[in-house]
Amino acid sequence: MDALAPETHISGLRISDADRERFVEILGTHVGAGRLTLTEFDERVAQVYRAVTEDQARQVLADLPAPAPPAPPRRPLRDYVHRLPLHQRIEWSAWLAVGVLNLAIWAIVSLAVGALIYPWPVCVIGPWALVLLGRTVLGVEGGCTAARARFRQRPLPKPRTNPTGE
């Protein structure tokens, strides 16, 4: 039972330890917001722990605003990745694999030569990443099927009439 829900509140109901803890947590949020001093917080916490009924515990919150609803939990990055369509996940995986392979070849050649050579993998990884990023962010999809669909949507040309009447 929620300690603050007035629709479930029954007058004179004895308070549980869990309800007391919820009241103390709410008082703690008000201290953090600057509505209560530490002295007031200590006094109110003592009143909550001395309270026998919920009505007595609710009196410590009477002059304080109701707590704001909790912020929705942040979604981890993997949830955003799984929202990508399968073909985009495959494209990004291919980009990552080719990029790692190119960087490995570049690093091996640089080590064999004994000096850092021109960072040519950037010419492979960079433009490809920009194209994929643009397609992912903007939701632009292309390919033959999209061109065919646009071609099919064009109106058909009007048939020509023969001016001689034949």
Mean pLDDT of 115-120: 93
Mean pLDDT of 8-31: 85
* Tally of structural domains, the chain: 2
* Domain-terminating residue out of 15, 30, 61: 61
100 lies in a domain? yes
- Give the pLDDT band of residue 62 (cuts 50, 70, 90): confident
Share of the chain above pLDDT 90, in %: 41
Residue 12 predicted with pLDDT over 70 = yes
What is the rounded CA–CA span in Å between residue 111 and residue 108? 5
- pLDDT at site 61: 87
134 lies in a domain? yes
Residue 163 predicted with pLDDT over 80 = no
Count of residues in the chain: 166
What is the rounded CA–CA span in Å between residue 88 and residue 104? 24
Full residue range of the structural domain in which residue 22 is found: 6-61
Mean pLDDT of 134-144: 75
- pLDDT at site 87: 85
What is the rounded CA–CA span in Å between residue 26 and residue 46? 14
Residue ranges in the chain assigned as alpha helix (H)? 17-32, 38-50, 54-58, 77-83, 86-113, 121-138, 144-153
Residues 83 and 146 in one domain: yes
Give the dihedral of Cα atoms 125, 129, 131, 132; nearest 10 deg: 130
Residues 149 and 122 in one domain: yes
| pLDDT greater at residue 141 or residue 147 | 141
162 lies in a domain? no
* Domain-terminating residue out of 61, 85, 106: 61
Residue 66 predicted with pLDDT over 60 = yes
158 lies in a domain? no
146 lies in a domain? yes
| pLDDT greater at residue 73 or residue 19 | 19
Residues 50 and 83 in one domain: no
Residues 50 and 90 in one domain: no
Mean pLDDT of 134-161: 68
Whether 4 contacts 26, CB under 8 Å? yes
Picking from 1, 99, 120, 3, the residue whose alpha carbon sits closest to that of residue 55 is 3
In DSSP terms, 14 is beta-bridged to 53
71 lies in a domain? no
Residues 38 and 87 in one domain: no
What DSSP designation does 59 have? G
Residues 46 and 90 in one domain: no
Residues 57 and 105 in one domain: no
| pLDDT greater at residue 68 or residue 57 | 57
